[in-house]
Amino acid sequence: MDDDAHRRHAELGFDEASWEERYRIAPALWSGRANPQLVTEAADLPPGRALDAGSGEGGDALWLAGRGWQVTAADFSTVALARAAAAAERLDPGAAGRVEWVHADLTRWTPPAGAFDLVSAQYFHLPAADRDPVFARLAAAVAPGGSLLVVGHVASELHTGMPEMFFTAQQVAATLDPGVWDVVVCEDRARTASGPAGHELPVADTVLRAVRRR
Ligand SMILES: C[S@@+](CC[C@H](N)C(=O)[O-])C[C@H]1O[C@@H](n2cnc3c(N)ncnc32)[C@H](O)[C@@H]1O
């Protein structure tokens, strides 16, 4: 992205039109690779049905499908979904056939209850008022024995101007009924990321993985 696109990107909000514009003004927003915490947490899970909430350009969905998962990838950006579907067809047509790309606003859409062996939300930062109800619907979509994986950014130099959109793994864990869920990961993990100028920056992810008992 050039400097103008970066400035424009930073000025945009987080509603559907803003995300659409954010994707439209850049040829690619994300690396296309699977997110590191998804790889860490899901690499050893037996493939089943997965929901990727806020699937963006589809790197996670395609990675899961490449490992045999049947994936529902949901996002409200039509640009991102089209880009993801095209990339999937180009990179791995076999796996692409295991992904259903769904245009949905997750503040309104209720995924089918108990239908997924993995529900993953990677850097799916919502306005604070939407977060608990949306995450509750995502949790309800997990099948017995399945995993809920919620990964967020811990605020850093890369993320300014949206403090109310951050959450911690502990906050998400506190919303889960302990009679239903085993929280198996609830922590922050440090890593490095490429900053806008291409230099490496220390960042951290907040990671919640919980397994539904019943
Ligand atoms: C930070 S991006 C993360 C994309 C992807 N998970 C990744 O890690 O590469 C957040 C994504 O959530 C989507 N999103 C944000 N709010 C949404 C909503 N209410 N319903 C559906 N998608 C939403 C955006 O369009 C964007 O693709």
CA-nearest residue, atom 14 of ligand 1: 54
124 C-alpha to ligand 1 centroid (Å): 5
Q: Which of 14, 15, 18, 19 to mutate to test the pocket of ligand 1 (most atoms within 8 A of CB)?
A: 19
- Are 142 and 169 within 8 A, CB to CB? no
Distance CA 186, CA 171 (A): 10
pLDDT digits (tens, 9 = 90+) for 141-175: 999 999 999 999 998 767 766 788 999 999 999 99
Contacts of 206 (CB under 8 A, 6+ apart): 151, 152, 153, 154, 167, 168, 169, 187, 188
Question: Is the CB–ligand 1 distance for residue 80 below 6 Å?
Answer: yes
At 1 the pLDDT is 65
Please report the pLDDT score of residue 7 as a whole number. Answer: 79
Q: What is the architecture, at CATH level 2, of domain 32-212?
A: 3-Layer(aba) Sandwich (3.40)
Taking only the tens place, the pLDDT of each residue in 59-68 is: 999 999 999 9
Among protein residues, the one whose CA lies closest to atom 22 of ligand 1: 75
pLDDT at residue 10, as a whole number: 80
Q: Which atom of ligand 1 is nearest to the CA of 105?
A: 20
Provide the residue ranges of all domains of the chain, joining segments of one domain with +: 32-212
Residues of the chain with confidence (pLDDT) below 70: 1-2, 157, 160-161
Q: How far is the CA of 171 from the centre of ligand 1 (A)?
A: 20
pTM of the model: 0.95
State the pLDDT at residue 193. Answer: 87
Q: Distance, CA 203 to ligand 1 centroid (Å)? A: 19
